[in-house]
Amino acid sequence: MRQVTATVISNAEVMPQVHLLWLEAPGMAAAARPGQFVMARCGTGHDPLLRRPLSVHRVDGGQRLALLVGVAGRGTGWLSYRRKGDVVDLLGPLGNGFSIRTAARSLLLVAGGIGVAPLVFLAEEALRSGRAVSLVVGARSASGLYPRSLLPSGASVVEVTEDGSEGLRGMAVDHIDGCVGRAEQVFACGPATMYRSMAGKECLTGEPVQISLETMMGCGLGACYGCATRTRTGMRMVCHDGPVFELDDVIW
Ligand code: FES
């Protein structure tokens, strides 16, 4: 873990109120693994006081790192206005990250909304290691889908929208039954409602499923207990013990 002053290389709004920021962050980009996150300072002073947790979205050549910033308030709003040459104070990479089993050659990735952020990085790493990747991406409507042109080529992609304006109609989880049988490991990132649906799905019973929990964080370092979550082995800190957990371990 390190603290770096990262320089913005580019900023593009890729979905409404969602910005793709590429930053020059050499040591951090080289160290990051899929599923890890950074804590970003969202201002130049102490307001807002707390950093915001953001998944590492992609890395490029060990020098550059991308974040997918969904504007949800003042802090992420400030980040979304950063332009080329601006600097952002980042702490990371933090957390445990996803873990692909050596024997797993075929992976299913399920993304709900902006939960696609860490799964793109995971898909790229898995494809690079010769694995097959199926990616089910869900959003409320077509405009909320992560641009297909930015998804890793080589992944088999299924798009799902709640209103049916693009791809299949419904929730991402409604359309994984056919893919689960072909996958040797399942990964997901999205809202808690998506995980609750997954926990109740018969086709996932007994399957190894890793999920990345999204939650508010204070310190990101295991010190403030602001991100405590209930698991079958007791209270765990999402920032320090996660953010990746086994689906079955979390008490919903
Ligand atoms: Fe402080 Fe996790 S955010 S303990």
CATH number at residue 197: 3.40.50.80
Q: What is the pLDDT of residue 35?
A: 98
216 Cα nearest atom in ligand 1 = 3
The structural domain count of the chain equals 2
Residues 9, 129, single domain; the answer is no
CA of 138 to the centre of ligand 1 (A): 28
| pLDDT score at 71 | 95
Q: Which residues contact 163 (CB under 8 A, 6 or more apart)?
A: 140, 141, 169
Q: Which domain holds residue 197?
A: 106-249
Last residue within a domain, chosen from 43, 67, 94: 94
| In a shared domain, residues 89 and 110 | no
Handedness of CA 164, 166, 172, 174 (dihedral sign): positive
Please name which of 20, 78, 71, 67 lies closest in space to residue 44, comparing C-alpha atoms.
Answer: 78
Residues 73 and 112 occupy one common structural domain? no
Ligand 1 centroid to residue 38 C-alpha, Å:
13
Parts of the chain with a pLDDT under 50: none
Report yes or no on 100 lying in a domain: no
pLDDT, position 223: 92
Residue 132 sits in the same domain as residue 89: no
Q: Is residue 234 part of a domain?
A: yes
Is residue 101 one of the residues assigned to a domain?
A: no
At 2 the pLDDT is: 86
Q: What is the pLDDT of residues 65-97, one digit of tens each?
A: 999 999 999 999 999 999 999 999 999 999 999
Residues 243 and 142 grouped into a single domain = yes
Q: Which pLDDT does position 47 carry in this prediction?
A: 81
Ligand 1 atom nearest to CA at 219 = 1
Q: Where are the beta strands (DSSP E) in 121-224?
A: 132-139, 156-161, 168-169, 185-189, 209-212
Shared-domain flag, residues 127 and 17: no
Rounded Cα distance between 80 and 26, Å, is: 21
> Is the Cα dihedral 195, 199, 201, 206 positive or negative?
positive
Instruction: Look at residue 145 in the predicted model and tell me its pLDDT.
Output: 97
Q: How far apart are CA 131 and CA 124, in angstroms?
A: 10
Q: How far is the CA of 171 from the centre of ligand 1 (A)?
A: 30
Ligand 1, CB cutoff 6 Å, lining residues:
217-220, 222-227, 237, 239-240
- pLDDT attached to residue 178: 79
